[in-house]
Amino acid sequence: MRQLEGQIRIPSGCAISAVISRDGRRMTGEKIIESLKPMHDRSNGLGGGFAGYGIYPRYKDYYALHIFYNDDLCRTECESYLRSNFVIVQAEIIPVRKMPAITNEPLIYRYFAQPLPSMLMTWQLDEDDFVARAVMEINTHLEGSYVFSSGKNMGVFKAVGFPEDVGVYYKLDEYEAYSWTAHGRYPTNTPGWWGGAHPFSLLNYSIVHNGEISSYDANRRFIEMFGYKCTLQTDTEVIAYITDFLLRRQKLTLEETASTIAAPFWSTIERRPPEEREKLTYLRTIYSNLLITGPFSIIVGFEGGLMALNDRLKLRSMVVAEKDDKVLIASEEAAIRAMEPDAAHVYAPAGGEPVIVKVKDGAY
């Protein structure tokens, strides 16, 4: 039997990249695909994926659920669950280009849906909480069904394969987004499968990650107390849930979130001005279980912006540059040059220093 995530350890890097227009101008997926070509060797063909924000303007008020199914039986079961919980205004197969480089495809569907008002009443939940619970329910209890994207006016596209092929496979040239993130996978610890590719996403948050976090189990045990279920045994998944927990539920700012998951050393905190020291001490104390240790560089996608962050020791590379209204982020400068040959202000943020880019108000 083919071993799945968590049943086998494959020791190994990864590639991440992103582009965002601060003016909210829409870009097709072609450029972000280009960025992954010079970083080809950072992946090994076992996973590639993209998140695009602003891609579904026609259905922007509906949750876009992207779901992998093992077979039609799984689909029937899951659709029955969806129908009893959601109003579905559109259900369709996600269009793909068949190609030899992408094999073992699951069924790939998308649904534009809203929670049934009666269910929200029954459960006394707001829409986001309801959708997050439904995603956990499907991914935990409906075997062979996996929701890999559940935000509004955004979508994740991922597969097993090299990322530049995955982008062509999903026809990203036909989508227009104000921000894109991308990932090329070189699985550490686990074999590549479709659900295990990045980005990992919950509601509007998505994460691409290069690294291997050593605090996974401590983070997982903590976050599972709040209703999240880590079903993939892949470290990045827990980062996605931590992001949702801190930003949406605890209402921390992006900067506070960065100071929590990539908290400075105590010796560094001691030397900060009193007010800042107090805040950093508070965050490290309250959320000590959400400190992420081990090497990582991540890009967090959210509605209207991006945040790039390195672990505090900066054990992974990350470069940021600008071109006109665009900010470009990647594991390597070459990737940025592949998108914008004459990008300017190229710099490498320090470990634990978040780079936060937002689209101008009202432009997305």
Partner 1 sequence: MKISARDLDHKALNEALRGAGNDCELTDCLGQRFIAAGMSDKHIRISGIPGNALGAYLNGATIEVNGNAQDAVGDTMNAGEIIIHGNIGDAAGYAMRGGLICVQGNAGYRAGIHMKAYKEKLPVMIIGGTAGSFLGEYQAGGIIIVMGLHRGSARIVGNFPGTGMHGGKMFLRGRCENVIFPAQVNAHVAKAADIDEIMPYIRTFCTSFGYDPAEILDSDFTVITPDTKNPYRQMYVAN
DSSP 249: I
**Among 8, 99, 286, 334, contact with partner 1 (rule: CB under 8 A):** 334
**If binding is defined by CB under 8 A, does position 332 make contact with partner 1?**
yes
Annotated catalytic, 78?
no
- What whole-number distance in Å separates Cα of residue 342 and Cα of residue 64? 36
Asked if 338 interacts with partner 1 (CB under 8 A), we say yes
Nearest Cα neighbor of 252 from 263, 268, 265 is: 263
Shortest Cβ 150–partner 1 spacing (Å): 34
Least Å distance between CB 281 and partner 1? Answer: 18
Contact stretch for partner 1 (CB under 8 A) within 79-87, 133-141, 246-254, 335-343: 335-343
Strand partners, 299: 208, 308
Choosing from 232, 319, 339, 357, the residue that interacts with partner 1 (CB under 8 A) is 319
Nearer to partner 1, 1 or 350 (CB): 350
Measured in degrees and rounded to the nearest 5, phi and psi for residue 287 equal -110, 40
Q: Which residues pair with 128 in a beta bridge?
A: none
350 part of the interface to partner 1, by CB under 8 A: yes
90-113 residues labelled b (16+ CB within 10 A) or e (exposed): eeeebebeeeeebeeebbbbbbbb
User: How many positions of this chain bind partner 1 (CB under 8 A)?
Assistant: 19
Binder among 174, 268, 288, 324 for partner 1 (CB under 8 A): 268
**Binding to partner 1 (CB under 8 A): which residues in 41-70?**
41
90 vs 268 by CB, closer to partner 1: 268
Question: Scanning residues 24 to 43, which ones bind partner 1 (CB under 8 A)?
Answer: 38-39, 41
Task: Tell me which residue of 288, 353, 303 sits closest to 155, measured CA to CA.
Answer: 303
Is 311 a binder of partner 1 (CB under 8 A)?
Answer: no
Q: What region does 125 belong to: left with phi over 0, alpha with psi -120 to 50, or beta?
A: beta
Q: Could you identify the residue written with the tokens 């619970």?
A: 133
* DSSP per residue, 343-361: -EEEE-PPTT--EEEEPPT
Q: Please choose, out of 61-69, 94-102, 245-253, 314-322, the segment that lies near partner 1 by the rule CB under 8 A.
A: 314-322
Q: What is the DSSP string of 92-155?
A: EEPP----TTS-S--EEEEEEEEE-HHHHHHHT--HHHHHHHHHHHHHHHSTTEEEEE--BSEE
Q: Does 348 bind partner 1 (CB under 8 A)?
A: yes
Determine, following the binding rule CB under 8 A, whether residue 337 of this chain makes contact with partner 1. yes
Told to check if 263 binds partner 1 by CB under 8 A, we report no
Catalytic residues: 14
Binding site for partner 1 (CB under 8 A): 38-39, 41, 268, 271, 313-314, 317, 319, 332-335, 337-338, 346, 348, 350-351
